């Protein structure tokens, strides 16, 4: 099925419907999964209504066309977009809660913000113009970390977000934020000077600026709203915010480092088979994907509690394990479901089954 629907704005928009999201939640509930991490903003689209900043969806939820395949340089010429209203998001949160699932929203900052910049170009270092990105990857255009208006914008956006999502944890992203625009930007450089952020042998001044920025958001969310933040493992670079939980995706090292520092961590390493947007079968016959290979046996074989943390007595700080299903190559619901299952069912098993028992299950020939 191809989910195509008109929202009455004269274009054709596509996104997963509320009912489809509910179907994933049903599947999660059936398999004892209890957290749904919902990544709702990207360079290629902003997918949640924010009442104070209507252009985030009026402009930021739509792109004029999409690159064909893996950044082939050719485009499909078809408008794409769509977003969830706050009422729809609340409906999903309530539906999940009835099934003992907490939805943890992610607004990814300060990178992966090109769609927001298209809507509000004054939030970027150059002032734009920017477009909602038509291709995949990591945009060099990110939020300006030297502009107080940006912090005000984020506080306003998160204030609306936490009214919709009562989760005690809020995901602030923090991954893949190129520093090229910050290096050139007078405001970012002024902030670096004023805050006394200095490069050291491990981190550049701009990496320290990213930490400063994430820590400002952590302070706001914890002091004003009593929330804990989760960030991708880049938030370790240049100093970890006090209450932060680290989501370890570039291997297990970030999660191990966080736990050894007394912070909570969630394991979702690509090296452990947790990126289920990768191929699960023969890449020669499967539809295009981001690449890489994650057969069911690999997901099943992952042990989310590294031995080294058992040795240091910090294993209890591993709060959970997650698979990631990034959907840029999931052109329709059938393909998305094919990639999700049965691998998320293996996730449920590795989350709940004692290691000695789960090892017995690995019987798929390799
Ligand atoms: C990520 O996969 N960029 C967290
Ligand atoms: Zn800047």
Residue 324 in tokens: 């990631």
- The mean pLDDT value for 254-263 works out to 98
pLDDT at 207 over 60: yes
DSSP per-residue letters across 320-354: EE--B---TT--SHHHHHHHHTTHHHHHHHHHHS-
Per-residue model confidence (pLDDT) at position 73: 98
* Nearest one of 148, 234, 223 to 191, comparing CA atoms: 148
What mean pLDDT, rounded, does the chain reach? 93
How far apart CA 231 and CA 243 sit, in angstroms, is 11
Per-residue model confidence (pLDDT) at position 238: 87
Q: Whose CA is nearest to atom 3 of ligand 1?
A: 175
Given pLDDT bands bounded at 50, 70 and 90, which one contains residue 361? Answer: low
pLDDT at 204 over 80: yes
Among 57-61, 178-182, 238-242, the range scoring the smallest mean pLDDT is: 238-242
pLDDT at 8 over 50: no
Residues near 246 by beta carbon (within 8 Å), at least 6 away in sequence: 230, 231, 232, 233, 235, 236, 240, 254, 255, 257, 258, 263, 264, 265, 266
How far apart CA 263 and CA 256 sit, in angstroms, is 9
Given pLDDT bands bounded at 50, 70 and 90, which one contains residue 11? Answer: very low
Residue 87 in tokens: 């009422």
Per-residue model confidence (pLDDT) at position 5: 36
* Ligand 1 binding pocket mutation candidate from 37, 139, 142, 175 (most atoms within 8 A of CB): 175
How far apart CA 247 and CA 171 sit, in angstroms, is 9
128: left (phi over 0), alpha (psi -120 to 50) or beta: left
Distance 16 CA to ligand 2 centre (A): 34
pLDDT by residue (tens digit) across 281-294?
999 999 999 999 99
Q: Whose CA is nearest to atom 2 of ligand 1?
A: 249
Residues near 296 by beta carbon (within 8 Å), at least 6 away in sequence: 280, 342, 343, 346, 364
Given pLDDT bands bounded at 50, 70 and 90, which one contains residue 61? Answer: very high
Please report, in angstroms and rounded to a whole number, the separation of the first and last CA atoms in the chain: 32
In degrees, rounded to 5, the angle at the alpha carbon of residue 338 between the alpha carbons of residues 335 and 343 is: 140
Distance 248 CA to ligand 1 centre (A): 9
Among 109-118, 233-242, 330-339, 354-363, the range scoring the smallest mean pLDDT is: 354-363
pLDDT by residue (tens digit) across 65-82?
999 999 999 999 999 999
Per-residue model confidence (pLDDT) at position 364: 54
Distance 130 CA to ligand 2 centre (A): 15
Residues near 57 by beta carbon (within 8 Å), at least 6 away in sequence: 46, 48, 49, 50, 83
pLDDT by residue (tens digit) across 145-180?
999 999 999 999 999 999 999 999 999 999 999 999
């Amino acid at each position: 099925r191809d989910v195509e629907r008109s929202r009455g704005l004269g274009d054709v928009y596509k996104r997963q419907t509320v009912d489809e999201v509910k179907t994933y939640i049903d599947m999660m509930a059936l398999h004892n999964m209890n957290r749904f991490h919902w990544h709702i903003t990207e360079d290629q689209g902003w997918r949640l209504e924010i009442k104070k900043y209507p252009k985030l969806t009026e402009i930021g939820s739509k792109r004029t066309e999409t690159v064909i395949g893996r950044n082939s340089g050719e485009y499909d010429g078809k408008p794409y977009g769509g977003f969830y209203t706050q009422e729809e998001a609340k409906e999903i949160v309530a539906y999940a809660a009835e099934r003992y699932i907490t939805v943890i929203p992610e607004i990814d900052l300060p990178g992966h913000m090109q769609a927001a910049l298209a809507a509000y170009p004054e939030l970027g270092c150059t002032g734009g113009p920017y477009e909602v990105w038509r291709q995949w990857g990591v945009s060099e255009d990110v939020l300006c970390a030297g502009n107080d208006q940006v912090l005000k914008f984020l506080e306003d956006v998160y204030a609306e977000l936490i009214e919709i999502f009562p989760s005690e944890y809020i995901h602030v992203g923090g991954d893949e934020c190129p520093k090229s625009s910050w290096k050139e930007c007078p405001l970012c450089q002024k902030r670096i000077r004023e805050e006394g952020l200095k490069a050291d042998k491990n981190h550049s001044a701009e990496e320290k600026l990213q930490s400063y920025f994430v820590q400002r958001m952590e302070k706001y969310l914890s002091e004003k709203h009593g929330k804990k933040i989760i960030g991708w493992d880049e938030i370790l670079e240049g100093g970890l915010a006090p209450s932060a939980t680290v989501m370890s995706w570039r291997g297990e090292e970030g999660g191990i480092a966080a736990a050894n520092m007394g912070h909570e961590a969630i394991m979702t390493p690509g090296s452990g088979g947790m990126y289920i947007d990768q191929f699960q079968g023969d890449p020669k016959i499967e539809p295009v994907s981001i690449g890489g290979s994650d057969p069911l046996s690999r997901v099943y074989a992952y042990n989310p509690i590294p031995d080294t943390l058992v040795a240091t007595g910090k294993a209890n700080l591993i709060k959970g394990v997650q698979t990631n299903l990034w959907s840029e190559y999931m052109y329709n619901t059938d393909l998305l479901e094919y990639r999700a299952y049965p691998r998320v069912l293996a996730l449920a098993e590795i989350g709940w089954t004692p290691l000695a028992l789960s090892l017995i299950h690995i019987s798929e020939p390799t």
